[in-house]
Chains A and B, each alone.
Chain A
Amino acid sequence: MVLAIAVLGVLLVWPLSSIFTASFIDNTTREPTLGNYARVLGQPYFQAALGNSLIVGVGGMLGAMLLGVPLAALTARYVIVGRDFLATLAVLALVSPPFIGAYAWIMMLGRNGFVRLPLEEMGIEVPSIYGYFGIILVFSLKFYPFVFLLASSSLRTINPSVEEAAEGLGAGPWRRFFGVTLPLVFPAVSAGALLTFVLSLADFGTPAIVGGKVRVLATTAYNLFTSEMTGNPGLASATSVVLIVLSLVVVVLQRASVRRRNVAGNLIRKSAPKQLGPLASAAAHVVCYSIVLASSLPSLVVMYTSFRKTSGPVFKPGYGLDSYERILREVPQVIGNSATYSLISVALIVILGSLIGYLVARSESRIAGFLDSALFIPYIVPGVVLGLAFVVTFNVKPIEITGTATIIVLMLFIRRLPYSVRSSASILKQIRGSIEEAAVSLGASPARAFMKITLPLMLPGIVAGALMSFITAINELSSSLILYVGRTMTMPVRIYLSVLDGEFGTAAALSTILLVASGVAVYVVYWVSGRNESAFV
């Protein structure tokens, strides 16, 4: 317990409070000031970034709901052939890093995109991928699986008797949907919407790659901090605080709206999917498959590109392993770094995460409840912001670790710890306390009861949480981009830089390695959690 609080204090509270303090310091005079906030909230330059963040946040959220809700409703209610296949693809789209999607869409719809050119020859005008359209497109296709997974698990827990009762009381199909079904899935759908909004707001890679002239808060904070000419840590911090506050407000609003609608489900009867008529069924299949295939397209494009012949940054006709040879020759340590940092941070996450998960699930003390809430912070603090906070905090004594591998591992650790805590806490809540007690009454000391009974039962949850942490850790871009130095570069950072340099072959080969690693991890999660897609949310 003390250890858990110390870790959260050092890695979360301290950095965030330093960035909070820094946001009140003037850049030149070093005096306390409100000037940074005055500029962030007053100058058109920043107002535009704030506005853009809100536009892409809301756009990404709406797009994700537009794709996720129909997919969930159709697959939950009607017989869709290959439902499991669709769910797997959706999950794969979820675990691939968003910046890979962003640059795959550039290859397709960019100025010389291989989809744009033929379409334009046919006289079809395609809107520019750079700007709002590109960002929102990538966000929608990237984040809809959250909405889909949350909504479909919630739809599956609605007892069909409830809907039949509404029908029996005289409600027609529309009344039934809006009056009964929708309010019942509202908490899940709104949680999905919230998640996509917060993720869209926090995402750095996508607007950095396809944003073009559209600057959002995350990219603005990054530029303010890293640019040598106009660098301004105070202003960057103030921008970060605005970003955090924005996410926090949305989270609080969503929680408040759900609290009033807390609906208890009971699963005495499970619903069976209905068979649609041939025409309707064909339409439903077209809708479902289009959504899922469109979201898988970027990954397929990336993998395909990685096997094309290249000469330097230029693609040539024919196929080969040129790009892979190149990355092995030029940047082998990047792959090693990614693997090492992710594995070490996941090992730490598993140990501390299971421990905190146990405290959260079993202890009734206030501190456990506080830990539970504190662990929500990494979800809403964007990677750019926490990265900045780490730099501000850990570049002076007593802890001077900027530029080391340690700082990257610690960052990955704190950003991904909540996955592990949540999955072990949720599985523990399913293990009834009486089982541990029974072991104690049979003569096992509490420690022994935990090792012999509770731990083996927690294992699937721990493994699933560890793999989810691993997937997100190995794909982490934004905070690594701020914390890396030459020798601690990771794969996502290298991919990002390659894309900026136009070296699409290198980027594609590295991305393919990430995708395969993530795919394997997904497969194992499926396997340990008994094909339960909700393990990914």
Chain B
Amino acid sequence: MARVDLKRICKRYPGVIALDDVELTVAPGEFFTLLGPSGCGKTTLLRTIAGFNRQDSGEILFDGTRIDTMPAHLRNIGMVYQDYAIFPHKSVADNVAFGLAMRHTARSEIDARVTRALDVVQLGGLATRMPHELSGGQQQRVALARAMVINPQILLMDEPLSNLDAKLRVELRDDIRDLQRSLGITTIYVTHDQEEALVISDRICIMQGGRVHQVAAPLEVYSRPATLFVASFVGSMNVFERLPVGPGGEVTIGAVTGTLPALAGRAQVTLAMRPEDVILSGAGEDAGEAIPLDGAVDKVTYAGREAFYRLTCADGLRILAHVSRPDQGRLAAVGERLAMALPLARLHAFDPADGRRVEVHP
């Protein structure tokens, strides 16, 4: 269980800045996720921690000791890959035993620890199997056992679930989380799947273009996104770009004006609202102070436990609204006109210049 400090890590490739002054701290035993679209630098950062990339500048410390000057094989890191990276010519047990053999552990101890590790990942009966006899999910469990059995200081996982089908992904995701908690091992996990990140992490670091946008607990990331990028990348968002702001903080959405006093003095603002915060008439909710709009339904997406309407209002403004429990009532038809309200208290505001969050609610 180690604490990880990344200090001002920079990495450039010809024409791209892969890591732009990344500064992070991961607490001992924490499940920490690097989230972002492909090319955001998350995998580069993970591989830099593992020692397979060398940063141009900056330091990496485990428990206060610099490790970035150490070659990869001496860093005592467990690594789990997207493509499993199981040694295809070694049996399940030999795969798991490999790291211990490299550490010259006694044969009897290796056997005991391998057996225990395979039990933990629920592969107890498969020790003598060859990798090609295993399913993808089982191979990834072998990889997990192989990484954990060496008692690494930290565990790094690079999109370990992306090659699995949906059902297995959920199952293994929960197992990884339980295992990590029970062993208390510091874990850095890379994914581009925002839902996976929200479910599995203690804290999430959202990256884009080599820069860190926000580091926070899942609830905070979702409810108080620090930048417009985070707001749109995690979950879905209705975004109203570059609205002019009146002298008293008046903003107009779809020809209806509301007032956010905190915006007074700004020229422009970008506002955003999650689909589930849009209140449809007849939902029986109190919108409080809100912008009332009405629009025509032009698309209905039904997904069982929930549904979405896309509505077009005056000025051609489009709004996505979430319907929970669509089975409880009647689903709107395309072309139907609906009234809705955008509660001012649920609006997120961002500075159009740098995309940073502007606090509008005291």
Within 8 A of B (CB), among A420-436: 432, 434-435
Contact of B89 with A457 in the complex, beta carbons under 8 Å: yes
A432 touches B89 (CB 8 A): no
Contact check, B85 vs A448: say whether CB atoms are below 8 A apart: no
Query: Quick check: A443 and B103 within 8 Å, CB to CB?
Result: yes
Q: Are B72 and A439 in contact (CB under 8 A)?
A: no
| A457 vs B88: C-alpha distance when bound (angstroms) | 8
Contact A432 B102, beta carbon cutoff 8 Å: no
**A444 vs B79: C-alpha distance when bound (angstroms):** 13
Partner of A443, one of B52, B76, B86: B76
A-side interface residues toward B, CB under 8 Å? 432, 434-435, 437-446, 448-449, 452-453, 456-457
Nearest to A457 among chain B residues (CB) is B89
- B335 an interface residue at 8 Å Cβ cutoff? no
Known contacts A432-B85, A438-B143; 19 further A-B pairs (Cβ under 8 A): A435-B85, A437-B50, A437-B52, A437-B72, A437-B79, A437-B85, A438-B81, A438-B87, A438-B146, A439-B87, A440-B51, A440-B52, A440-B72, A441-B79, A441-B147, A442-B147, A446-B71, A446-B73, A456-B89
Report the Cα distance A449→B51, complex, angstroms. 15
Q: In the complex, how many angstroms separate the beta carbon of A362 from the nearest chain B beta carbon? A: 13
Which 6 residue pairs are nearest across A and B when measured between Cβ atoms?
A: A442-B99, A443-B102, A441-B79, A434-B85, A438-B85, A434-B81
Cα-based distance from A446 to B52 in the complex (angstroms): 11
B98 within 8 A of A: yes
Query: Considering the complex, which residues of chain B in the window 142-160 have a beta carbon less than 8 Å from any beta carbon of chain A?
Result: 143, 146-147, 150, 156
Is B78 in contact with chain A by the CB < 8 A criterion? yes
Asked if residues B87 and A443 are in contact (CB atoms below 8 Å), the reply is: no
B73, A445: Cβ atoms closer than 8 Å: yes
Partner of A448, one of B51, B86, B102, B150: B102
Q: Which residues of B contact A441 (CB under 8 A)?
A: 50-51, 72-73, 75, 77-79, 147, 156
With A437-B52, A438-B79, A439-B98 already in contact, the answer to whether A444 and B85 are too (CB < 8 A) is: no
* Min distance, Cβ B75 to any Cβ of chain A, angstroms: 8
The size of the chain B interface, using a CB distance under 8 A, is 29
Find the residue from A435, A440, A448, A452 having the highest chain B CB count within 10 A: A440
Which of B88, B143, B150, B156 is most buried by chain A, counting CB atoms within 10 A of its CB?
A: B88
Report A179 CB to chain B, min CB distance, Å: 35
B83 within 8 A of A: yes
Instruction: Determine which of B50, B77, B87, B147 lies in contact with A435 in the assembled complex, contact meaning CB atoms within 8 Å.
Output: B87
Contact B83 A444 (CB under 8 A): no
Provide 12 A-B residue pairs closer than 8 Å at the C-beta atoms, listed in order of the A residue.
A434-B82, A437-B79, A438-B85, A438-B87, A438-B146, A439-B87, A441-B78, A443-B103, A446-B71, A448-B102, A452-B98, A453-B87
A residues near B143, Cβ cutoff 8 Å: 438
Contact B89 A443 (CB under 8 A): no
Asked whether, in the complex, the Cβ of A440 is within 8 Å of the Cβ of B85, the reply is no
- Distance in Å from the Cβ of B87 to the closest Cβ of chain A? 6
B75 contacts which chain A residues (CB < 8 A)?
Answer: 441
B146/A442 in contact, CB under 8 A: yes
Asked if residues A443 and B85 are in contact (CB atoms below 8 Å), the reply is no
Interface 1/0s, chain B 28-52, versus A by CB < 8 A?
Answer: 0000000000000000000000111
Please, how many angstroms separate the alpha-carbon atoms of A449 and B143 in the complex? Answer: 16
Bound form: Cα–Cα A441–B82 in Å: 15
Give the Cβ gap from A295 to chain B, nearest Cβ, in Å. Answer: 37
Q: CA–CA, A449 to B71, complex, Å?
A: 13
Interface residues of B in 55-109 (CB under 8 A from A): 71-79, 81-83, 85-89, 98-99, 102-103
